Amino acid sequence: MDDLIQEFLVESNENLDRYDSELVKLESEPDSQPLLSSIFRSIHSIKGACGFLGFQKLEKLAHAGENLLSKLRDGQIKLTAEIGSALLEAGDGIRKMLASIGTSGNDGEEEFPVYRLRGRLLPLVYLNRELKLQSGASAAAAVNIVVLQVDSRQFGLVVDEVHDTEEIVVKPLGKHFKAIKVYAGATIMGDGKPALILDVMGLAQSASITAAERERTLAMEELGTEKAGSDRQKFVLFAGTGGSRMALPLAMLARLEELPGSGVERSGNQWVTQYRGQILPLIRISHALEERRELLQPELEGSFPPAGSIQVLVLTHDGKSFGLVVPEILDIVEDAAEVQSPATRAGVLYSAVIGNRVTELLDVPSILQSGEVYGMAGGQAAGEGQ
Amino acid sequence: MAETRQFCTFYLDGLLFGVESQRTQEVIRTMDLTEVPLAPLVVGGLMNLRGQIVAAIDLRRRLELAERPAGQKPMCVVARTSEGAVSLVVDEIGDVVEVEESSFEAPPETLKGPVRSVIQGVHKLDKELLHVVDAERVCVLEETEARAAS
């Protein structure tokens, strides 16, 4: 191996040892500036050398750690247990990458692909790669992604083809397969052939070997920006009434859906639709915001449900789900929403400049109180009362 | 009268092997196997034995013999083990033979490696040697052994 790389490995491992031991010390004296500076220097020199040697992934992770440390050093953030363990994990991640450089000469597996799903990054796991299969669709073609969830983490499983859903009985595999964590068992399909059943947890574990570093980097970047006091948030933008632009923090949303208008039904004096095995009450944004109601009355009396589809923001409030029917979902943006002015009508928290346009932030609790959810008649009454 | 043992015999790469008849559940033609990615090479796949999912173990690979020539249709000896049924993929089925205990000999010291754990010994027959396969040990693959040892 290259002498230079050899030297880099020795030196970086020494740096890392110091980094680890000083981090532990830091826990007992979290405000020690000399200690913080020294930890910062350790990771900084690793980062510097990686940039020089072209280990980009390692550099990125070290950089994320360095950022976090510089904020700690400058007093922008406080050392919490969360940040402490993130820093320790970063050290572990760096150590792993160093080991990988030592054995294979590069700092880990190929890039970690992600997919943007409704404004969130979904790490992708290629099933054919996980199973070490040769076949599989080429990267250029459209791919099928099965979105899976383990604990609170979602990931997308890229498969060749999606067949169908089917109820099956999972039978355990014998002990020959115990060591393979990606299978939960097997079953016999309709054609009489055994089919393997994947274990989502096992799959995530086996895939996280490659995803872990990226996640750490991302998590730390997030941690850093969040704690630094910047309140950039993701907002979903949608058309409100009368061409105005409205927004909700993305975090409040369970899902964005386009549902068929034909699925909208009437239950008592309320519009509902069947959604994932539940009855989802629907609130029309046009009715929930009372101010312009009179103005737009003729338009509102237009047929609901429409013949086509309806755009619905699925929200959960106080443990209850409901769907907010909006004219159009526009975009998902990240913005600090710094410029603000007070609300000009009920049902709105405040107006802010989001994505360079004045946007009203919806006040969900007040809309719920406005009564649309309990029926339009009640909603109207509440509106008139104000 | 000397004690005897009964074996269901089969051939692998021209050699005669046997599994105790009591352990043999049935002999069947090989059916379509469902491949198991990531599984050890000796596992040929999974088969549906009348609704039961059974792992097929390629005995040639398990015993580190040469690969089966392409085009040769293998057979399966389904053996009962503590783990349930296991299908042993073999070349050709032989007779059921009854041998005297006295003809048995332990494997030679020089026999090493994974084969040794699977072959209990040989019975000296008139014309050839009958290698006694321990069906129980066949299922214990290296990975699991390695883990138990560590």
Query: What interface predicted TM-score (ipTM) does this complex get?
Result: 0.77
Which of B35, B36, B139 is most worth mutating to test chain A (most A CB atoms within 10 A of its CB)? B36
Q: A126 vs chain B: nearest CA distance in angstroms?
A: 14
Helical segments of chain A, H only:
3-28, 33-53, 56-73, 81-104, 127-130, 200-227, 285-288, 293-300, 364-369, 376-385
Task: Give the C-alpha separation, A129 to A168, whole Å.
Answer: 26
Under the banding of pLDDT at 50, 70 and 90, the label for residue B77 is: very high
At residue B139 the predicted structure's pLDDT band, cuts being 50, 70 and 90, is confident
**Which residue of B33, B47, B48 to mutate against A (max A Cβ within 10 Å)?**
B48
Cβ-nearest to A195 among B34, B38, B84? B34
- Residue B91's pLDDT band (cuts 50, 70, 90): very high
Nearest beta carbon to residue B53 from set A131, A133, A186? A186
Could you tell me the CA-to-CA distances from B50 to A192, A375, B135 in Å, in that order? 9, 57, 21
- Amino acid symbol at B18: G
Query: Could you read off the pLDDT of B7-26 as tens digits, one per residue?
Result: 999 999 889 999 999 999 99
Which pLDDT score, from 0 to 100, does residue B87 have? 92
pLDDT confidence of residue B138: 83
**Which residue type sits at A323?**
G
Neighbours of A104 (CB within 10 A): 10
Q: Reply yes or no on whether the pLDDT at B131 is more than 50.
A: yes
Distance CA(A147)–CA(A124), nearest Å, equals 9
Backbone angles phi, psi at A369, to 5 degrees: -70, -30
Rounded to 10°, the helix A33-53/A3-28 angle is 160
Domain ranges of chain A: 3-104, 114-211, 233-385
Residues 6 or more apart whose CB falls under 8 angstroms from that of B81 comprise: B23, B135, B136, B138, B139
Nearest to A113 by CA among A148, A158, A152: A158
CB A247 within 8 A of CB A359: yes
For residue A185, how many other CB atoms are within 10 A of its CB?
17
**Which of B30, B33, B46 is the best substitution to test chain A (most A C-beta atoms within 10 A)?**
B46
Q: What is the 3-state secondary structure (H, E, C) of A217-264?
A: HHHHHHHHHHHCCCCCEEEEEEECHHHCEEEEEHHHEEEEEEEEHHHE
pLDDT of A229 reads 45
What's the length of chain B?
150
- The model's confidence at residue B142, banded by pLDDT at 50, 70 and 90, is low
Chain A residue with the nearest C-alpha to that of B138: A176
Q: What is each CA distance from A87 to A94, A205, A228, B64, in whole angstroms?
A: 11, 21, 16, 48
Contact B34 A182 (CB under 8 A): no
Distance separating alpha carbons of residues A28 and B71, to the nearest angstrom: 70
Phi, psi of A215 (to 5 degrees): -60, -40
Q: What per-residue confidence (pLDDT) applies to B17?
A: 93
**Which of helix, strand or coil describes residue A209?**
helix
Give the whole-angstrom CA distance, residue B86 versus residue B77: 8
Please give the Cα distance from B18 to A101 (Å, whole number).
50
- CB nearest to B39's CB, from A180, A192, A193: A180
> Is the per-residue pLDDT at B146 higher than 60?
no
Does A3-104 match A233-385 in CATH topology?
Answer: no
**Does A195 contact B144 at a Cβ distance shorter than 8 Å?**
no
Alpha carbon distance A43, A69 (integer Å)? 9
What's the half-sphere exposure (Cβ side, CA atoms, 13 Å) at A121? 10
pLDDT above 80 (res B148): no
- B109 against A215, higher pLDDT: B109
Q: What is the rounded average pLDDT of the residues B23-45?
A: 86
A114-211 adopts what CATH topology? SH3 type barrels. (2.30.30)
pLDDT, position A385 = 36
Q: Which residue has the higher pLDDT, B81 or A83?
A: B81
Averaged pLDDT for residues B32-53: 86
CB B144 to CB A179 under 8 A? yes
Q: DSSP letters of A281-326? A: EEEEHHHH--TTHHHHHHHHTS-SS-SSEEEEEEEEETTEEEEEEE
Report CB contact under 8 Å: A174, B84: yes
Query: Cα separations (Å) of A355 from A233, A235, A243?
Result: 12, 10, 16
Q: Is A95 exposed, middle or buried (0-12, 13-18, 19+ CB in 10 A)?
A: middle
Question: Domains along chain B?
Answer: 4-149 (2.40.50.180)
Nearest 5°: phi and psi at A234? -95, 135
pLDDT attached to residue A141 = 61
> Which pLDDT tens digits describe chain A residue by residue (386 residues)?
578 888 888 888 888 888 888 888 888 887 888 888 888 888 888 888 877 777 877 888 888 888 888 888 888 887 777 778 778 878 888 887 888 787 776 665 545 566 666 666 677 778 887 787 765 545 556 778 888 877 667 778 888 888 888 888 888 887 777 778 888 888 988 888 888 898 888 887 777 644 454 555 566 556 555 544 456 777 888 887 777 888 888 878 888 888 888 888 888 878 888 887 788 888 888 777 765 445 444 444 456 777 788 888 888 877 778 888 888 888 877 777 777 788 777 778 888 888 778 888 888 887 777 655 554 333 333 333 33
Q: Phi and psi at residue A335, in whole multiples of 5°?
A: -155, 155
- CATH number assigned to the domain with residue range A3-104, chosen from the 4 options 3.90.950.20, 1.20.120.160, 3.40.50.12780, 1.10.132.10: 1.20.120.160
**Residue B150 reports pLDDT greater than 50:** no
DSSP A128: H
**Alpha carbons A264 and B99: distance in angstroms, whole number:** 78
Q: Which of B97, B100, B87 is nearest to B42 (CA)?
A: B87
Task: Provide CATH code, domain A233-385.
Answer: 2.40.50.180
Q: Do A177 and B36 touch (CB under 8 A)?
A: yes
What residues have CB less than 8 Å from B148, skipping those under 6 apart? none
Find residue A333's DSSP bridge partners: A235
Cis bond upstream, residue A113 (ω within 30): no
Tokens of A284: 């029309």
- The pairing of strands A253-260 and A309-317 is antiparallel
pLDDT at position A53 = 79
Contact B55, A176 (CB under 8 A): yes
Distance of CA A64 to the CA centre of its chain: 19
| Number of inter-chain CB pairs under 8 A, A vs B | 58
* pLDDT for residue A371: 56
